[in-house]
Amino acid sequence: MEQQPRLPLWFLIVNCSLIAIAFVAGVMLGDRRIVELPQPQSDALQLVYREILKSHVEPQDGAELMDRAIAAMAGELDDYSRYVPPARVKVYEESTTGRYEGVGMVMRQHGEDIVVHFPFTGGPAERAGLRPGDRVLEIDGKAVAELPVADRSVQATELVRGPAETTVELVLDRDGERITATVERDAVQRPAVKWSHVADSQRGLGYVHVTDFHEGITRGVRTAITELQRESETGGGALRGLIIDLRWNGGGSLDECVALSRLFQPTGAIVSTRRRGQEIERVDAEASECLYPDLPLVLLMNSESASASEVFAGCLQDHGRATVVGTRTFGKGVVNTIYSWPDFKLKLTTAHYYTPKGRSLGGSHRQQATANGKPPSGITPDVESAVSEQQLPPIQIALFRHEVPARYRTAYATVAERYGFKVPRPPQPDTDSQLAAALAQLGDRIDGGK
């Protein structure tokens, strides 16, 4: 027997979203005040929410229902606006800032063993004396051997992590000796500068891979350049040019992007932004912050280079400071502002980016995608270079791995030999045609005096 619904389905869906609108609109004013909504939507909103909780065939959680409604409202605005519910705030902050609370080390499962690969430089694990090869036996009294083998790595990681200023006690096996280490957890910043090395010692060409534009990236690049200069001088030469690899760099902080741009660009505009109904706001270079005005640069980009990495590349390309090598970038030409409250966050598209020459990186956020699914904008490389399908996976794997800090490389190699895995290496020009093209272009810039 069929029963007539109390309310049409469209009525339920639309008004669930209106509940979300009322809530977010209120807090957008800076507090929890609810703004007055138009009728009849205001009444419908409350009725629909009540009716879903009361009559839907499956019991519904009111908080989860509201989270879904708000997420749908924000997500329909454009490709980049997002509502972050309370349950996802911690994960979101880690993914966007590179910061988390824990002990700061890389550990992996090998067979049934959980093994420390290396601690992050300056992190809690290093301060507590952990070393590559330490085998974790217990975590706060919980025997690792009791964790399910199939899920042991994930569960061990969860046990080790925890709030800053708390401690975790690890029982370790170090070359047959049982030792106990008490580690005080702290805020840990994931390294965003990877694979800093001299790629061609004869010509003095350096290479760094920048994974994102999290806090501290500018400081990290400066440190990397200093180390590359020292390494080049040790070999009897000098650092004459630098490749900055931005492939798979999805962006991050605009402030860090501007700061990094200012390291290399002494004058002129870095980027301009235009908000709704407002004049363009321009951010300029600062001569006092430009430490490397004459260092020849090549930027490696691909279709996954987006947002802040495109702003950085657009600045240096427009000013002729760098040659861009690779493939057309993603084309995310919008500013996302993060609004934060104690319980949740809202990532909202609030402006468009423009390069120093006025190029829009992505056009309208409602612009239709091209046939390949990518926005018809982004940064066009000065030198087109693609990698083969065979080359792509190992390059991506190499760039996504953590580089082993220099002080631990010898010990790490011993661990790799013991457990039978390969020591990670950065991309090499003989197996990475884009890197080979970048090295060739950097040599040309040096020879041409650019």
Nearest Cα neighbor of 284 from 299, 295, 273 is 273
Helices then strands, each counted (H, E), the chain: 12, 19
Reduce the DSSP state of residue 279 to 3 states and report it. Answer: coil
Query: Quick one: which of 160, 158, 161, 149 has its CA closest to 113?
Result: 149
Q: Quick one: tokens of 442?
A: 């950097």
- Tens of pLDDT, residue by residue over 296-323, are 999 999 999 999 999 999 999 999 999 9
List strand residue ranges (DSSP E) for 120-204, in order.
135-139, 142-143, 167-174, 177-184, 186-189, 193-200
Say which CATH architecture domain 193-387+432-448 belongs to: Alpha-Beta Complex (3.90)
Say if CB 106 and CB 118 are below 8 A apart: yes
- pLDDT beneath 70, residues of the chain: 1-34, 279, 363-376, 449-450
Across the strands, what pairs with 206?
A: 198, 242
Measured distance CA(21)–CA(276) in Å, rounded: 20
Domain ranges of the chain: 9-76, 99-189, 193-387+432-448
Which residue has tokens 């909504």?
37
Architecture per CATH, 99-189: Roll (2.30)
